[in-house]
Amino acid sequence: MTSATSFTHRHATVVVEMSTTETPESPPNQPQRSDENHVHMNGSNQSRSKPQRDAGHEVSRRLKVAKILSFSSGASMVAWNKFSTLWLLSVGLTPAQTGVLKSVGLVAKAICQPAWAAIADLKVPARIHPSLESVSSHFTAVLSTVVSLIMMEALRRNARFLGFRQILLLRTIWAVTNAGGQLVDALVAQLSHRTKEGYGKQRLWGSVSWGCMSFIAGVLIDRFGLEALFAYTYVARITLLACIVLAMVDWAAGSAEASGEAQYDSEKGMSKQPENLSSSAYFNRMVITVRERPQLAALLTTTLVHGFTMVVSDNVVSMQMDRDFHMSRSLNGLTAAMGVLASVPSFWYSSLLISKYGHFAIIMLAQGLSVSMYVLHAWVTKEYSILILPITAIKGAVVGLQWSTSVDLMQSSVDQSLTTMAQTLLGWFYYTIGGGVGFIFWSACYQHLGASDTYWLAAAVGICNLLSLRAWLGTRKEVWASVDFGEGISRRLTLPP
C-alpha cells in the first residue's frame, strides 16, 4: 500500500463517525430518548471529541497538501502541453512530424509509466535507505521530475541543430523519465480517497492552475517568444519539487504514529495492512483485478477512445488558432482559462453527482458533451473565430466530469496495494495510448483534411464510443439498473476486492 493510502484508510472510519455524532431530533410520533441514554451519549461524545478533533485536523491538513500538490502539478505541465506544438513547429518540424514526435513519446510513457508506478507501490526506494519506505511515492516522483527536467533542457539546447530522427530520440528518452505528473496525481487521489471532499475537489485546483497559468504562459510567450515556455516550466517544476519535498517531510513526520495506529487496528481486527508483494505477484494481481471486474475493463476501453478524440480539443484547436485564424498566443492560452471556469462546478460537485446518478451515467454525459463540442468547433469560421473561447469552455466540463468520475471508480475498485498502478493505468489509457495514437492520427487529419473535417470525424468517433458503452451497459443489467435509478451507485458498481 502506498504511503498516502494508509492515511485515508486509517481515517475513513473516523470521518464517518464525525459525520454522525449529531443525531437529529426524533419525529413527534417516535418515543423520545430517556434522560439516562441522553446523558450517556453526551458523555460518550465528550470522551471521543478530542481524538475526533485531532483526526479531523490531520485529515484537513492532508487535504490541504493534496490541493497544493494538484495546483503545483497543473502549473508545472501547462506551458509545455499547451505550447510545445508551436515550439516544435518553430524549429522546423511539420504538423505531421509533431504528431509523430508526441505519439512516440507517449508510447515510451506507455512502456515505462507502469514501471514507475511499480517502483512506488513496491517501495523500491526503501532499498536505498529504509527511511524512504513510507515516502516511496514521493521520492519516486521527485526522482522522475528531476531527471525529466535535465532531458528537457537537453532538448531545448540541441533541437535547432538536429534532424528529425535525433530530435525523436531525445524526446523519447525524455518521455521515459517523465512520470512525475502521473505519480503526483496518484498521490492526490490516495490522499483524498474515502474523505468527505473526495478527489474532485482536490483535482479542481489542478484545473484552476492550468487555466490561470496557461494564460500567463501565453502572455509571456507573446512578450518574450516561444523560448519563454522553458523558463516558465523550469520555475514551475522547481516549485513542484519543493511542494513534493514538503509533502514528503510532512508524511514522514507522521509515519511513526501511522505505523502505531495501523498495528493497533490490526490487533483489534479493524483493518489490515496489505502484504508486501513480489514484482510478479504485483503485476498478476493487477491483471486479475481488471479481468475479474468487468466495469474496469469497460472503463479503460471507453477511456482509451475518449482520450484518443480529446487530442482534437487541445492540439488541433491550438494549431487552428495559430495557423488558420492567426490568433495571439495570449488568446490561445485564454482558451484553457475558459475551460477552467466550466470545470470548477464539475469537479466540485463530482462526488454528489456520482452518488446520485452513478459513474457510468456521468461518463456518458461527458462523452455526449464532447461530441457537441466537436460539432460546434466544426462550424466556426475565421470571421467568428472568437467563438472558440466559449466553445472551449465545454472542454472543462468534459474533463471535470470524465476524469473525476473515472478516478473515483478506479480507486474504489482495486486493492489498496494497487492504488498507484490503478491511477497510472487510467492515465496510461487516456493520455498515453489514446492520446499517443490521437496525436499521430489527428495531426495528419488536420494537415491533409483541414480543421473542419477533422472535427466532424472526431464527433463521429465520439458517437461510436458513446453508443458502444451504452450497448455494453445494456448487457449488464445490474449495472444499467444502478445507472437508471442512481441510488448507492459507487457501492453497487464496486465489486469486493
Q: Is residue 40 part of a domain?
A: no
Cell of 6: 494508509
pLDDT surpasses 90 at 12: no
Q: Which segment of 236-250, 272-286, 427-441 scores lowest on mean pLDDT? A: 272-286
pLDDT surpasses 80 at 418: no
The identity of residue 255, as a single letter, is: S
Q: Is residue 165 part of a domain?
A: yes
Cell of 88: 516544435
**Rounded to an integer, what distance in angstroms lies between the CA atom of residue 67 and that of residue 240?**
12
pLDDT digits over 324-374, tens only? 888 877 777 677 677 777 788 888 888 888 888 888 889 999 999 999 999
**Rounded to an integer, what distance in angstroms lies between the CA atom of residue 82 and that of residue 330?**
11
For CA atoms 83, 211, 66, 114, the dihedral sign is negative
Cell of 344: 470548477
Most trustworthy range by pLDDT among 153-162, 191-200, 421-430 = 153-162
More confident residue, 225 or 276: 225
Those residues with Cβ within 8 angstroms of residue 346's Cβ, 6 or more apart along the chain or in another chain: 200, 396, 397, 399, 400, 401, 404
Host H or E run for residue 331: helix 329-348
Q: What is the dihedral of CA 172, 173, 174, 176, to 10 degrees?
A: 90
- Comparing CA positions, the residue from 246, 244, 275, 248 lying closest to residue 131 is 248
The predicted pLDDT at position 56 comes to 67
**Rounded to an integer, what distance in angstroms lies between the CA atom of residue 283 and that of residue 418?**
9
Confidence of residue 77 (pLDDT cuts 50, 70, 90): confident
The predicted pLDDT at position 1 comes to 40
The predicted pLDDT at position 282 comes to 63
**Rounded to an integer, what distance in angstroms lies between the CA atom of residue 114 and that of residue 118?**
6
* Domain containing residue 406: 61-268+277-493
Q: Is residue 227 part of a domain?
A: yes
Q: Are 286 and 393 in contact (CB under 8 A)?
A: no
DSSP reduced 3-state for 23: coil
Confidence of residue 51 (pLDDT cuts 50, 70, 90): low
pLDDT surpasses 60 at 29: no
Those residues with Cβ within 8 angstroms of residue 202's Cβ, 6 or more apart along the chain or in another chain: 63, 66, 67, 70, 188, 191, 192
Domain count, the chain: 1
CB-neighbour burial class of residue 341 (10 A; exposed 0-12, middle 13-18, buried 19+): middle
Q: Is residue 223 part of a domain?
A: yes
Those residues with Cβ within 8 angstroms of residue 430's Cβ, 6 or more apart along the chain or in another chain: 303, 304, 306, 307, 310, 403, 406
Q: Is residue 328 part of a domain?
A: yes
Instruction: Find how far residue 326's CA is from the centre of its chain.
Output: 32
pLDDT digits over 184-211, tens only? 888 888 787 667 777 777 877 887 887 7
Q: Is residue 292 part of a domain?
A: yes
Cell of 181: 505528473
Interhelix angle 329-348/200-224, rounded to 10 degrees, is 170
Confidence of residue 434 (pLDDT cuts 50, 70, 90): confident
Q: Is residue 224 part of a domain?
A: yes
pLDDT surpasses 50 at 152: yes
Q: Is residue 21 part of a domain?
A: no
pLDDT surpasses 80 at 275: no
Which CATH number belongs to the domain containing residue 487 in this structure?
1.20.1250.20
Cell of 478: 445490474
Q: Are 182 and 424 in contact (CB under 8 A)?
A: yes
